[in-house]
Amino acid sequence: MSSEAPPLLLDAMLGRLARWLRLMGYDAAFLADTPDLLIVRKARSESRLVLTRDHALSRHRGIEALFIEGEDIDEQIAQVVEAIGPAGDPPSPRCGYCNQPLIPVDRDAVGDRVPPYVLRTESEFRVCEKCRRVYWPGTHWESVEERIDTIENQGQD
């Protein structure tokens, strides 16, 4: 199959998409309120594929860019997955807020930071080492997978 997806750079209109893509395992940098010139510079220096809803930016010389067509988040996710493939096999989820790869940890390490019922019912936990948020499949990356399944099934109808 194809190699890993390229690192991404999303512009200001795509913050919500960036969070979803991170949970799906994509390296998705996000720049809010940033002039196009600086977006272009970062994309070049870090070899990132730019995702944008700005036609002019998507056609900028010297960068790889994907113009995001839909406004609907499901459509946007579907377009990205179709264009560049899955983030990895299996994908490693990243923090939706920091874009940091999540680190698997023992239940004991998060006992004081998750609700008791989650501690009882979930067995797999990951943490973001930057913001210290705790993630688990039931409410986080697994729901992303369900979402993708739904999108793919809809596409086949």
What is the binding site for Zn ion (CB under 5 A)? Answer: 95, 97-98, 128, 130-131
CB of 95 to Zn ion, least distance (A): 3
Q: Which is nearer to Zn ion, 21 or 40 (CB)?
A: 21
Q: What is the three-state SS of the chain?
A: CCCCCCCEEECHHHHHHHHHHHHCCCCEEECCCCCHHHHHHHHHHCCCEEEECCHHHHCCCCCCEEECCCCCHHHHHHHHHHHHCCCCCCCCCECCCCCCECEEECHHHHCCCCCHHHHHHCCCEEECCCCCCEECCCCCHHHHHHHHHHHHHHHHC
CB of 132 to Zn ion, least distance (A): 7
CB of 60 to Zn ion, least distance (A): 30
Q: Which is nearer to Zn ion, 19 or 53 (CB)?
A: 19
CB of 102 to Zn ion, least distance (A): 8
